[in-house]
Amino acid sequence: MIELELGVKSDPIIYRYSFDWLFDLMREEGVKYLQLGTFFELYFLPDRYFLELREKAEKRGIIIRSLFSAYRELGGFLSLDPAQEKVAFRNYLRLMEIAHLLGASSCGACMGAIPRDRLGIRKEAIENYLRRAKELLHWGYDLGLRCFTLEPMSCYAEPPCSKEEVRYIGETLARYHRENPQSTCAFGFCADVSHGWADEEEKVLEDNLSYFAATFPYLWEFHFKNTDHLFHETFGFEPENLSRGIVDARRIRTLILENQALIPQKHLVGYLELPGPKLGRDYSDKLLGRMLRESLRHLKREFLES
């Protein structure tokens, strides 16, 4: 039987509140799993910073289970530019080192973005990512990580964006791990229940539910946020947002439970990933606490307790 859990991704507190503030809020709301999102300074901070952050979390009963990008800063493998690729690989290695320091079992990022004026390189760029990702699976194993993760996205310039690409990428990297079980960590998707794909004419090519389900044979964890029918805006599960959103947490629960035999991860965490209110305004920053609490309470009721 799969065990469902709820967590929080740290993105909306960055440059707004401290980790102490977030850990206290999580403890008060009875949510213990954190996915640490990247921020600009993260790759350059000393090891000591992350050991102290882990200690702060553990003192409050918070487990930093995952580390994942908050931006598209690790997209150098798609650029086919040697300088950008070198930086991406170096920063991926640092990301893995940080995950190890935090005691996280996984880390990863979205693949990145291909410039829209260079979409002709898309196929070659994906293959380059796969080649470098295979190298990273070995590094992950050496650092004691259980899984290296990737997030399916919502547009053609940011692969994967379709069920077919999810299956191809997932199977390519999962097969490589099966062939090298003694020297690679696993590969898995960090999916997002609000992601789908609408083309330039606003035609929906991938709805969010079937797209999410396509990740199940390779699913490691996922992001929980709300969106509209074109996947244009993202927001939370506060009472004022429920009527305009398409993400039904109870339906997500049912979809997972009905297909749990497909999912390799039997302790599955969905991380609330809020964009948060407008950053850097006295009248809006103060709203984040309420938004987190109301969204977490909704998800606990509809996803965990339904």
Q: Percent of the chain having pLDDT more than 90? A: 98
Single-letter code of the amino acid located at 141: Y
pLDDT of residue 87: 98
Q: Which of 261, 263, 252 is nearest to 298 (CA)?
A: 252
Q: Which of 36, 34, 35, 102 is nearest to 62 (CA)?
A: 34
> Quick check: 52 pLDDT over 80?
yes
DSSP readout, 237-268? Answer: --HHHHTT----HHHHHHHHHHTGGG-S-SEE
pLDDT of residue 2: 96
Single-letter code of the amino acid located at 265: Q
Token digits of residue 282: 């006295």
Dist. CA 110–CA 127, nearest whole Å: 15
Q: Match 């339906």 to its residue by tokens.
A: 251
Backbone torsions φ then ψ of 270, nearest 5 degrees: -100, 120
pLDDT of residue 110: 97
Confidence category of residue 18, pLDDT binned at 50, 70, 90: very high
Residue-range domains of the chain with CATH: 3-305 (3.20.20.150)
